Amino acid sequence: KLEAVIFDLDGVITDTAELHYLAWKELADELGIPFDRQVNERLKGVSRAESLEIILERSGRAWSAAEKAALTLRKNERYRELIGRLTPADLLPGIRELIAALRERGIAVGLASASLNAPLILERLGAGSWFQAVADPAAVRKGKPDPELFLRAADMLGVPPQHCAGVEDAAAGVAAIRAAGMKAVGIGSADRLGEADLLLPSTAELSPERLLGLFG
């Protein structure tokens, strides 16, 4: 029985991937490291520290922990400037309606984002009060594809994982949902998200009926 839906943020609630890209691109350009949108695909759903590691792969040198900390801080300051410009118009199609419809039916709604900036992003989107549980990525030991973030959100909602559906746009996220024992909804294409229990091309296709349908 569907009792809770746990959402990813970037790529599901809003498209912050482009803003991550712009902030990382500025940093990579300053450092003279090649970085493009294709490499950016690998950063989706991946933590800030792991994202930096992926970018530095092409730098041809080793970086100290202190240097890396300074670089992630610089990127995040720029990124926070960019997310400061988000408005409710940046919600992905159908998300506002879906969350309202779920809550009307008494289905709990949670967030499992790897982003430490999630509270600021939700506030900018006017979505600060929509989620009854927001799992804290700083409190989990392992990021996606580990199920920890999704399990944390379910626990905060007081719903067993088998009564939860998770919605994700990244392969690591779909793997995390499945490892948590939840039904996985993938937003995107089968080449990356083939493991999902339900695959939809866009958030506009999401509906309470489709999510309920996963539970027979």
Closest approach, Cβ 122 to ligand G16, in A, equals: 11
Q: Is 8 a catalytic residue?
A: yes
Q: Is 155 a catalytic residue?
A: no
Binding site for Mg ion (CB under 5 A): 8, 10-11, 45, 169-170
Rule CB under 6 A: choose which of 44, 124, 152, 178 binds ligand G16: 44
Q: Mask 67-86, x = binds ligand G16 (CB under 6 A)?
A: ---------x----------
Closest approach, Cβ 16 to Mg ion, in A, equals: 8
DSSP letters, the chain, are ---EEEE-SBTTTB-THHHHHHHHHHHHHHHT----HHHHHTTTT--HHHHHHHHHGGGSS---HHHHHHHHHHHHHHHHHHHTT--GGGBPTTHHHHHHHHHHTT-EEEE--S-TTHHHHHHHTT-TTS-SEE--GGG-SS-TTSSHHHHHHHHHHT--GGGEEEEESSHHHHHHHHHTT-EEEEES-HHHHTT-SEEESSGGG--HHHHHHTT-
Q: Does 203 bind ligand G16 (CB under 6 A)?
A: no
Q: Does 14 bind ligand G16 (CB under 6 A)?
A: no
Of 126 and 145, the one with the shorter C-beta distance to ligand G16 is 145
Closest approach, Cβ 68 to Mg ion, in A, equals: 23
Q: Does 11 bind ligand G16 (CB under 6 A)?
A: yes
Rule CB under 6 A: choose which of 14, 25, 39, 45 binds ligand G16: 45
Rule CB under 6 A: choose which of 9, 125, 153, 154 binds ligand G16: 9
Catalytic residues: 8, 10
